[in-house]
Amino acid sequence: MPNIVKVLLVDDNPMILGMLRGALSPHAIVNTASDGADALLKAVDDPPDLLVSDYRMPGMDGRQLVEKLKSRPATAGVSVILLASKADITEKLGTQDPADEFVEKPFFLKEATHRIKRVIDKIALEKMSKSAASDGVLRGSLTQMNVIDLVQSLEMGRKSCMLTLTNQDDKCEMYFSEGQVTHAVYGALTGDAAVFKVLRWTGGNFQINFEGKTTQQTTTLNTQGLLMEGLRLLDESARDGGGETEEEEDVLLDS
């Protein structure tokens, strides 16, 4: 995925700030701030697409920062992820809906990065769709956004469309309705099996036709179910083929 999404990362803990910046930099243009006041100035000067902010900070906390950004026309549309404890999410934030998503603290760096990247990919897909060709078809390479990221982004954006994937002489068509895969065909395979097969692709191209529709229903699982089962099968295949790799050590982060 090309770095076309601007992320403003805010945390008063320099260790968390540094580790999250390192993890997110390959996926987005990352700017950082160590407190709410600094973040507000930077956001006004260069509006981000996504704000990832700690909730509990001295002075202006994360919720106050979000309220100030949402009150300004230039930053009212910014997506928001707040890092907060379970108690704060339940008792102070959940009912007020100040964020698009929460990451519960303490969190493992890999899991937090994965969840934030899903939002980055969704924003990137929205930005790419706005610059789509005049025929309404969005074209790209799977080196920009892989199959799993594409499917997750279409699900998160609740898109209705036809996703066409090509890899040399192979071709797969997947149809989405409100973010859910309803029909897929890959050669002689249809439905769930077609989706599972194409998740193995590591190269090729994609096209998204937002006018593409079908009345066929060949899948039996929802989009998340298809991805989870497909990833399980990929992992099982890797183990059977002796392709296991040593897991990198994860880091638990807290304020």
Residues 19 and 23: their CA atoms lie apart, in Å, by 6
In this structure, are 29 and 93 located in the same domain? yes
pTM value is 0.80
Q: Could you identify the residue written with the tokens 């981000």?
A: 48
Q: Which residues contact 193 (CB under 8 A, 6 or more apart)?
A: 186
In this structure, are 155 and 224 located in the same domain? yes
Q: Going residue by residue through the chain (255 aa), what tens digit of pLDDT does each one get?
A: 457 899 999 999 999 999 999 999 999 999 999 999 999 999 999 999 999 999 999 999 998 999 999 999 999 999 999 998 888 888 767 666 678 888 999 889 999 999 999 999 999 888 887 766 667 788 888 887 889 989 999 998 899 999 999 999 999 999 999 999 999 999 999 999 999 999 888 789 999 998 899 999 999 999 999 999 998 988 887 776 655 544 556 777 776
Q: How many domains does the chain have?
A: 2
Q: Whole domain around residue 70: which residue ranges?
A: 6-126
Q: Are 23 and 65 in contact (CB under 8 A)?
A: no
Q: How many other C-beta atoms are found inside a 10 Å radius of the C-beta of residue 209? A: 18
In this structure, are 162 and 120 located in the same domain? no
Asked whether residue 253 is assigned to any structural domain, the reply reads no
